[in-house]
Amino acid sequence: MNDSQLLTLVLVEDDPGHALLIEKNLRRAGIANSIVKLDDGQKAVDFLFKKGAYSGDEHAAPFLILLDLNLPVLSGYQVLQAIKGDERTRAIPVVILTTTDNPHEVSRCYELGCNVYVTKPVEYEQFSEAIRKLGLFLSIVRVPE
């Protein structure tokens, strides 16, 4: 994500410790983009579709979404289905970022339209390093306008 493409990262993560660690390590990888943090699936859907508390908001688009699967209210699967099932949001890249490494769950996410699936390591150092590498990857990603 170079300077010519201003992109907002939408981090949907219910664990405040994970959210902080993700943001910290993305910053360490040189990601300077704005990060919107949402802590449940319904807030993510409302934010993206400008509903509820977000109705009337003007969002800085385009977006790239970092989405956990195990979320309160609406699951990550439900959020992913909502995003990929609507022509207004279908092109938004979605990176699944979760502790779930079950092959069935990985397949399900790709079938629902996720663009990248990343398993969060449990160990602190490995988690930090994985997010830093993700940040390096995101620094070269291009998304549709």
CB atoms within 10 A of CB 41: 25
3-class SS of residue 58: coil
Domain residue ranges of the chain, discontinuous segments joined by +: 8-138
* Burial per residue of 75-92, b for 16 or more beta-carbon CB atoms within 10 angstroms, e otherwise: bbbbbbebbbeeeebeeb
From residue 130, how far is each of 51, 116, 138 by CA, in Å?
33, 14, 12
On the question of pLDDT at 59 being above 80, the answer is: no
**Cα 38-89-64 angle, rounded to 5 deg:** 50
pLDDT tier at 5, thresholds 50, 70, 90: low
**DSSP state at residue 99:** S
90 vs 56 pLDDT, higher one: 90
139 is written with which tokens?
Answer: 């620094």
Q: Taking Cα atoms as reference points, which of 28, 61, 8 lies closest to residue 134?
A: 28
Domain 8-138, second-level architecture: 3-Layer(aba) Sandwich (3.40)
Stated as kind and residue range, the H or E segment containing 23 is helix 16-28
2 is written with which tokens?
Answer: 């170079």
The alpha-carbon radius of gyration of the chain (Å, integer) is 14
Q: Mean pLDDT score of the chain, rounded to an integer? A: 90
Q: pLDDT, tens digit, for every residue of 85-138? A: 999 999 999 999 999 889 999 999 999 999 999 998 888 899 888 888 888 888
